[in-house]
């Protein structure tokens, strides 16, 4: 079977690291900045970054509604950190009206932005992650957590008692950044779900 073509939303955030991780996990990876590029990929990764800035750029690049439509039609997606925030159906503390983070409504969950604290509160932890052998070293940078999951959402990992990795069908999200650790198991889990 040919490698799935996976786009990485390249408006803001750690695009290069996700491209490398996806390629190592067996995908054809490309950047997505425009609606026609979004239309050509089979799946999408939404990287970490700043969720309100990414929401603003999604509107500016006329990607918000096309992306919502593709996700509603079942396009698989993986979001890390800010990507997790944007994939939620509801964002707690979304920001200042007019400049808030906008939910893409792809995973039935409520996510709280910066839940673990500010940049200075960033941390690393070893997590048990359902479906992966052994623990996973996780890097949390101004990370969110999940406050509510819907009936169809599977919690894959927790930190401090809070869900930090979830899956709903072929949608996957983590509050941490596996792309910066060299551990490709989360990306492989996502790419394998596309085959």
The annotation places the binding site for L-glutamine at: 49-51, 113, 141-142
What is the DSSP secondary structure assignment for residue 145, as one 8-state letter?
E
Annotated catalytic residue within 18, 56, 177, 187? 177
> What's the rounded Cα separation, in Å, for the pair 41 and 164?
26
Q: What angle do CA 43, 100, 7 make, to 5 degrees?
A: 15
Annotated catalytic residue within 18, 56, 81, 187? 81
CB atoms within 10 A of CB 76: 22
Q: Is 177 considered catalytic here? A: yes
Burial of 73 from C-beta contacts in 10 A (0-12 / 13-18 / 19+): exposed
Q: Is 17 considered catalytic here? A: no
Residues making up the annotated binding site are 49-51, 113, 141-142
> What's the rounded Cα separation, in Å, for the pair 132 and 178?
13
Annotated catalytic residue within 17, 18, 179, 187? 179
Q: Is 137 considered catalytic here? A: no
Please give the positions annotated as active site.
81, 177, 179
């Amino acid at each position: 079977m040919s490698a799935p073509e996976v786009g990485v939303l390249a408006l803001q955030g750690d695009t290069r690291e996700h491209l490398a991780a996806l390629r190592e996990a067996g995908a054809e990876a490309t950047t997505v900045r425009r609606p026609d590029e979004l239309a050509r990929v089979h799946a999408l990764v939404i990287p970490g970054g700043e969720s309100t800035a990414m929401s603003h750029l999604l509107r500016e690049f006329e990607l918000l509604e096309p992306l919502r439509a593709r996700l509603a039609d079942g396009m698989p997606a993986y979001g890390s950190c800010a990507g997790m925030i944007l994939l939620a159906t509801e964002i707690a503390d979304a920001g200042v009206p007019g400049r808030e983070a906008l939910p893409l409504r792809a995973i039935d969950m409520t996510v709280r932005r910066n839940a673990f604290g500010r940049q200075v509160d960033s941390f690393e932890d070893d997590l048990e992650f359902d479906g992966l052998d052994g623990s996973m070293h996780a890097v949390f940078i101004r990370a969110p957590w999940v406050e509510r999951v819907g009936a169809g959402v599977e919690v894959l990992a927790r930190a401090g008692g809070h869900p930090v990795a979830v899956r709903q069908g072929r949608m996957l999200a983590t509050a941490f950044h596996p792309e910066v650790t060299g551990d490709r198991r989360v990306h492989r889990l996502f790419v394998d779900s596309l085959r």
